[in-house]
């Protein structure tokens, strides 16, 4: 490692108010001193300039006190250091200021790494980003065996790179191959997986964390060099490859190819992180530190990073919305959606009662929810013990026994208005007078479902997205009769279930189904004009969507898409011409991927063993000849396809804001990104509208209106040249 002197830059100027966040504890009888992190101005120990300067002061004090060992702890219960304070970036005025902050953090952590005494990180919560880099600068790392302990370098998910030496220290601790995986994907590890990866030296019960840390602090300092394992194992082969330039070159090339396949070149941060890692390995850590700080400063001022940071902060703020606390949950309907909602509730610590019409259906639903729990255990989302506790919190029945204890009930039966109305009436007879009654629907107006109810003020929509156990968005649908308390309770329940909730007005298609519906409908119209399926899908994935519209049609299922599309075209048919191809495919029984045919003809599921599937390529999907008919295919410029689909999507989102369907541009962007896969690096439709420029957007829509009809007529706010975010980068 480079000496502290080599990395000491000029101290950067402060950004915002400064408070004392680090204190020292003098050596005890065994010569073990302490550094305690405790930001008094925040609920978390996020790294800011005050923390950096506090650490620098503490390190100087340690040098003068000359203890045998030092333990770094957090005074905040269940926490350690969960990354950098993003205000350090958002309030900075230029990239030089941000780069200097990175250099300052690198310098202080290098001083910590070069202390003559043994240093131990006693990790009691998340150690992410700068928090992990602080731990990496210590000789040893001990963590408590609790769910709150996660370790990782997630900076690339914010459009950034590690800024405190993570690109240099992590590969030297756990090896190049593992470090590339963690840094370039932003993946996080729980305590046990981090121990197996070599990030932690010991994982202990929380009650003995301090005792274990003291035992490590009494050990001699650790060598920074990783031992080379010699043998026939895969690990030893990878270790050996790291020792030779040709082996490392292969790793860099493979990592670069993987990043480009995953990001399509839209996210520059992983490639810049790879560059810093490579510079450090091939030219020395001083060059690596410099490349890291330079990349951090340059990336932090890009539109991509600004948008990703904004999305992260907006998501965190949305999850802090308040409401009545729910203590027990009921779920009516034990299909895939009902089972997923039940699993989410039980995983959030709620007792959950599932109800369906027959013993077989109820048992299948409970079994599906249990499988989701087992999948969570296998993916390390839960520990084995937690999985068992979650399973015990779920029960099922064929009647409403047990529902009297539920203070919130979510019905997830079939999309049938009469059936849903009947369920709401039944629930009002069995649940408490103040219990929330929520309907999970993607398109049926909630006020129609609430017709005939005695207390419509407590009936709201909770639109979960499939698969509910993974999709992060929740649309809380507010009919005119719904009370504020019911809406707030639904939002708070969504947050407890791990969802980011947006509140939308009860209107045709709500928000997400409406804006997605007009774009999918336009894709089908393009098909009728001679566009090829593959060209349209490729244009949207090149724009940044995870999949194209026709793949999405087939994945969702054309029956579901038909129902949502009919809702949109019925409500807005005066300006949205309906495409008939979806109805035609459904009538033929070609309903999407599960049926083997939809817009595409899909290859049959592979019967090969799982280990062979990665070696032998499965058959590729092909365009369904029926959807082309006799219309000749023609080439359309990718930019034209993108404008026709994306600008229609954006314009419809703005219409929803103008009509009060959504409460704010922030909710509009969160809904589109988290629910529909609008490219996160673009910030959402409202950030994208600002980036296009108000005048340019209006002009583009007017031109499309002249060529393709009134569905492209600019929304009122577009005509008024509205800017949706004043601080748009």
- Could you tell me the strand order of the sheet in which 459-464 lies? 394-397, 352-355, 329-332, 408-411, 436-439, 459-464, 473-478, 500-505
- Average pLDDT rounded to a whole number, residues 99-121: 96
Instruction: For residue range 369-381, list pLDDT tens digits in order.
Output: 999 999 998 887 8
- DSSP-derived secondary structure letter, 128: E
Res 141: pLDDT: 98
C-alpha separations of 215 from 25, 32, 139, 465, 654 in Å: 17, 10, 13, 49, 60
Q: What are the tokens at 582?
A: 């979806």
Which residue, 140, 145, 154, 168, is CA-closest to 72?
Answer: 140
- Average pLDDT rounded to a whole number, residues 627-635: 92
Residue 232 pLDDT > 80: no
- DSSP-derived secondary structure letter, 150: E
Residue predicted with more confidence, 655 or 6: 655
Do 154 and 128 form a contact (C-beta atoms < 8 A)?
A: yes
Residue 718 pLDDT > 80: yes
Number of Cβ atoms within 10 Å of the Cβ of 209:
23
Q: Any idea which of 75-89, 463-477, 663-677 has the lowest mean pLDDT?
A: 75-89
Residue located via tokens 């504020």: 484
Which residue, 321, 317, 320, 314, is CA-closest to 684?
Answer: 314
Residues 218, 229: Cα–Cα separation, whole Å = 27
Residue 16 pLDDT > 50: no
Res 42: pLDDT: 83
Residues 559, 581: Cα–Cα separation, whole Å = 12
Which residue, 221, 220, 202, 222, is CA-closest to 212?
Answer: 202
Res 610: pLDDT: 53
- Average pLDDT rounded to a whole number, residues 343-348: 96
Measure CA 507 to chain center. Answer: 28
Angle between helix 303-318 and helix 665-676 axes, rounded to 10 deg: 100
Q: For the chain, what is the mean pLDDT?
A: 91
Residue 5 pLDDT > 80: no
Residues 687, 728: Cα–Cα separation, whole Å = 7
| Residue 607 pLDDT class (50, 70, 90 cuts) | low
Residue 6 pLDDT > 60: no
Res 234: pLDDT: 54
Q: What are the tokens at 52?
A: 């950096």
Q: Is 387 strand, coil or helix?
A: helix
Q: For strand 436-439 and strand 352-355, is the pairing parallel, antiparallel, or unpaired?
A: unpaired
Res 230: pLDDT: 45
Which residue, 223, 2, 200, 9, is CA-closest to 102?
Answer: 9
> Could you say which of 155, 475, 590, 652 is catalytic?
475
Residue predicted with more confidence, 224 or 280: 280
Of all residues in the chain, what percent carry a pLDDT higher than 70?
A: 93
Do 82 and 44 form a contact (C-beta atoms < 8 A)?
A: yes
| Residue 571 pLDDT class (50, 70, 90 cuts) | confident
Which residue, 351, 331, 350, 349, is CA-closest to 341?
Answer: 331
275 is catalytic: no
Q: Which residues contact 388 (CB under 8 A, 6 or more apart)?
A: none
Residues 201, 125: Cα–Cα separation, whole Å = 16
Res 155: pLDDT: 97
Residues 250, 110: Cα–Cα separation, whole Å = 30
Do 292 and 107 form a contact (C-beta atoms < 8 A)?
A: no
Do 560 and 554 form a contact (C-beta atoms < 8 A)?
A: no
Instruction: For residue range 481-499, list pLDDT tens digits in order.
Output: 999 999 999 999 999 999 9
Residue 273 pLDDT > 90: yes
pTM of the model: 0.90
Res 167: pLDDT: 97
Residue 553 pLDDT > 70: yes
């Amino acid at each position: 490692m480079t000496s502290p002197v080599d990395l000491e830059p000029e101290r950067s100027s402060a950004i915002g108010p400064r408070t004392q966040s680090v204190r020292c504890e003098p050596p005890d009888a065994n010569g073990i001193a302490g550094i305690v992190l405790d930001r008094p101005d925040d609920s978390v120990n996020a790294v800011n300039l005050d923390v950096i300067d506090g650490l620098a002061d503490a390190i100087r004090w340690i040098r003068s006190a000359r203890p045998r060992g030092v333990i770094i702890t957090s005074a905040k219960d269940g926490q350690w250091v969960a990354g950098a304070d993003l205000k350090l970036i958002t309030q900075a005025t230029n990239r030089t200021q941000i780069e200097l902050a990175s250099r300052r953090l690198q310098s202080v952590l290098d001083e910590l790494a070069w202390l003559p005494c043994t240093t131990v990180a006693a990790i009691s919560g998340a150690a992410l980003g700068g928090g992990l880099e602080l731990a990496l600068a210590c000789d040893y790392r001990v963590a408590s065996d609790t769910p709150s302990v996660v370790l990782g370098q997630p900076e690339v998910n914010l459009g950034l790179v590690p800024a405190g030496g993570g690109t240099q220290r992590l590969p030297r601790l756990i090896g190049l191959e593992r470090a590339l995986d963690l840094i370039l994907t932003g993946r996080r590890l729980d305590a046990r997986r981090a121990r197996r990866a070599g990030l932690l030296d010991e994982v202990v019960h929380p009650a003995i964390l301090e005792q274990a840390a003291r035992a490590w602090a009494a050990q001699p300092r650790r060598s920074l060099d990783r031992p080379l394992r010699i043998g026939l194992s895969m690990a030893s082969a990878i270790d050996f490859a790291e020792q030779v330039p040709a082996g490392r070159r292969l790793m860099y090339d493979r990592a670069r190819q993987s990043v480009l396949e995953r990001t399509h070149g839209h996210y520059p941060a992983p490639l810049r992180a790879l560059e810093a890692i490579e510079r450090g390995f091939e030219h020395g850590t001083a060059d690596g530190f410099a490349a890291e700080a330079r990349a951090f400063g340059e990336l932090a001022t890009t539109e991509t990073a600004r948008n990703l940071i904004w999305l992260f902060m907006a998501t965190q703020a949305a999850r802090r919305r308040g409401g009545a606390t729910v203590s027990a949950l009921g779920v009516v309907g034990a299909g895939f959606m009902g089972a997923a909602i039940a699993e989410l509730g039980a995983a959030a610590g709620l007792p959950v009662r599932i109800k369906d019409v027959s013993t077989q259906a109820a048992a299948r639903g409970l079994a599906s929810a249990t499988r989701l729990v087992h999948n969570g255990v296998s993916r390390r989302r839960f520990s084995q013990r937690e999985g068992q506790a979650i399973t015990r919190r779920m029960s099922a029945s064929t009647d409403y026994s047990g529902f009297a204890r539920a203070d919130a009930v979510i019905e997830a039966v079939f999309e049938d208005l009469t059936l849903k109305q009947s369920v709401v009436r039944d629930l009002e007879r069995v649940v408490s007078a103040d219990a929330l009654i929520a309907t999970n629907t993607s398109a049926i107006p909630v006020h129609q479902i609430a017709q005939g109810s005695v207390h419509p003020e407590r009936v709201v929509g909770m639109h979960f997205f499939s698969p509910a156990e993974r999709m992060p968005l929740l649309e809380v649908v507010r009919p005119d009769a719904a009370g504020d308390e019911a809406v707030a309770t639904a939002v708070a329940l969504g947050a407890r279930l791990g969802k980011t909730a947006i509140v939308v007005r009860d209107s045709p298609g709500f928000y997400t189904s409406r804006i997605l519906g007009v774009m999918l409908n336009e894709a089908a119209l393009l098909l009728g004009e001679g566009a090829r399926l593959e060209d349209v899908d490729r244009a949207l994935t090149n724009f940044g969507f995870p999949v194209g519209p026709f793949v999405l049609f087939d994945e969702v299922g054309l029956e579901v898409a038909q129902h949502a599309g009919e809702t949109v075209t019925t409500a807005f048919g005066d300006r949205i011409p309906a495409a008939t191809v979806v109805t035609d495919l459904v009538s033929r029984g070609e309903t999407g991927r599960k049926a083997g045919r939809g817009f595409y003809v899909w290859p049959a599921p592979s019967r090969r063993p799982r280990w062979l599937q990665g070696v032998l390529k499965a058959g590729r999907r092909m365009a369904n000849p029926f959807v082309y008919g006799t219309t000749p295919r023609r080439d359309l410029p990718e930019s034209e396809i993108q404008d026709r689909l994306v600008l229609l999507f954006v314009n419809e989102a703005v219409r929803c804001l103008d009509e009060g369907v959504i409460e704010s541009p922030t909710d509009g962007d969160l809904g589109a990104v988290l629910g529909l896969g609008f490219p996160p690096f673009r910030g959402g439709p409202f950030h994208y509208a600002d980036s296009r420029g108000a005048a340019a957007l209006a002009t583009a829509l007017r031109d499309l209106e002249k060529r393709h009809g009134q569905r492209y007529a600019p929304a009122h706010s577009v005509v008024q040249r509205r800017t949706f975010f004043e601080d748009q980068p």
